[in-house]
Amino acid sequence: MTSVRKRNWTAPNGEEKTAWQVDYKDAAGKRRSKQFTRKKDAEAWLTTAAYQVQQGTHTPDSQSITVAKAAELWIKRGERENLEASTLAAYGQHVRLHIVPLCGDKKLSQITRPMAEGWRDDLMEKLSRPMASRVLRSLTAIVSEAQGRGYVAQNVVAGVKMRRAKREKPKVVIPTKAELKAIIAAAKASAEPMAYPLALIAIFAGLRASELRGLPWRCIDLKAATVTVDQRADVKNVIGPPKSEAGYRTIPLPASAIAALTAWKLACPPTDDGLVFPSLAKRVMSHMFMNVNIMGAVQLAAGIADPMMKDGKLALDKDQQPVVAQRYTLHDFRHAAASLWIEQRVNPKRVQKWMGHSSIQVTFDTYGHLFDQADQDSAVAAAIEQELIG
């Protein structure tokens, strides 16, 4: 039985108080009550609550928790599941800097779809689209975790989506063939002996930076001319498994890479983890050192660099010469590998496998324009052949 009744009482300080109390039974048949200052608010809430009870989606406020508390439970679960340190740090940042200030004090049972849509809009106004999307996904996961624990009956945030961007998604930055040739030549001439094999593996195998840093010699098959990925180094230089099942893969290597690796294996200092590219201390090399001190230095030697700007002006060194920086990161060489495979008409599913993508959609979203271009090139060649040969 449900009802809305007026309640009068005297406060401890002698002040007369009035409120409108809603009495109802939840889905389990337990009597519940909730007070409102105005009668119309009480009636409106009761209409919604009665429908939710009937649908089995109602959670009493007394049994719910705040978004901030739910976020704590979500983070702790991630810690128990041994998520990567970088992932936990990102989640903690989402919660601390964005979610708690936005809605941390709100009880899960009080969240409505319009409310969640408003939070999405607030995030989009304050943050970049990619960051707003990540924070919204974290908020959805937080409520989902609480739902599984029985603190809320439904996840209204799950249906809230980011609006589709009007601008075209920027294409990936890919080094040109001329630049790749210059980089390979500079790496081969470098005084750093690991620069040449590192450049060849990065360009021809498309490994992630974390996979290059955690690559062991046991995963290099010099006879079969392949490299296998079954581990990686995280942001704290800790060796662990790939981030997903798709990360486990075997990729073919050309003869030049095998020759360079064979020579480097004889000179490579031994390490406890048997690393192919260890640091000077014979441990996992940091991302910055590999990216800047090795591949960055190779690019500068090859003349592949861009001037740096400071306060809108060209940055100058102490001799008043322009300061330049490497043009490409380690991840850009991963894109280079994909583009070379696609140009050779490698099947999209195989490109997905070699890149370690979780789905073919990721591959098409990233390199779809390259596949389209390859198809067009093939059609042009076939048309010319038809005209000349028949």
Helix, coil or strand: residue 362: helix
Contacts 24+ apart (CB under 8 A), 362-369: 365/169, 366/172, 366/335, 366/338, 367/172, 367/335, 367/338, 367/339, 367/342, 369/171
Q: In what order do the strands lie in the sheet with 220-221?
A: 220-221, 226-229, 249-252
Class of domain 67-159: mainly alpha
- What pLDDT score was predicted for residue 47? 63
| pLDDT tens profile 141-176 | 999 988 888 787 778 888 888 876 555 556 688 999
What pTM did the predictor assign? 0.67
Per-domain boundaries in the chain: 3-58, 67-159, 177-342
End-to-end Cα distance, the chain: 85
Quickly count: other Cβ atoms within 10 Å of residue 122's Cβ.
Answer: 14
How far is residue 279's CA from residue 276's CA, in Å, rounded to a whole number? 10
Element (H, E) at 10: strand 3-10
- What pLDDT score was predicted for residue 372? 78
- What pLDDT score was predicted for residue 39? 76
Distances, alpha carbon 104 to alpha carbons 58, 72, 122, 125, 372, in Å: 20, 11, 14, 19, 46
Structure tokens belonging to residue 388: 């000349």
CB 211 within 8 A of CB 331: no
- What pLDDT score was predicted for residue 371? 83
Class of residue 15 by CB neighbours under 10 A (exposed 0-12, middle 13-18, buried 19+)? exposed
How far is residue 217's CA from residue 199's CA, in Å, rounded to a whole number? 16
- What pLDDT score was predicted for residue 146? 85
CB 194 within 8 A of CB 277: yes
Of 376, 366, 365, the closest CA to residue 343 belongs to 376
Would you give the DSSP letter of residue 284? B
Would you give the DSSP letter of residue 165? P
CA atoms within 13 A on the CB side of 316: 5
Of 214, 254, 215, the closest CA to residue 234 belongs to 214
The rounded average pLDDT for each run of 10 residues, N- to C-terminus, in the chain (390 residues) is: 71 78 67 72 63 56 78 91 85 93 87 88 88 92 87 83 64 89 96 96 96 97 96 91 91 95 96 96 95 95 85 71 84 94 92 94 87 72 64
- What pLDDT score was predicted for residue 162? 82
Of 82, 60, 80, the closest CA to residue 72 belongs to 80
Please state which architecture CATH assigns to domain 177-342.
Orthogonal Bundle (1.10)
Q: For residue 255, give every residue at least 6 positions away whose Cβ sits within 8 Å of its Cβ, in sequence order, or none.
A: 225
Q: Is 293 left (phi over 0), alpha (psi -120 to 50) or beta?
A: alpha
CB 354 within 8 A of CB 208: no
- What pLDDT score was predicted for residue 136? 93
Would you state the torsion angle of the CA atoms of residues 26, 30, 34, 39, taken in this order, to the nearest 10 degrees? 70
Residue 353 CA, distance from chain mean position: 19
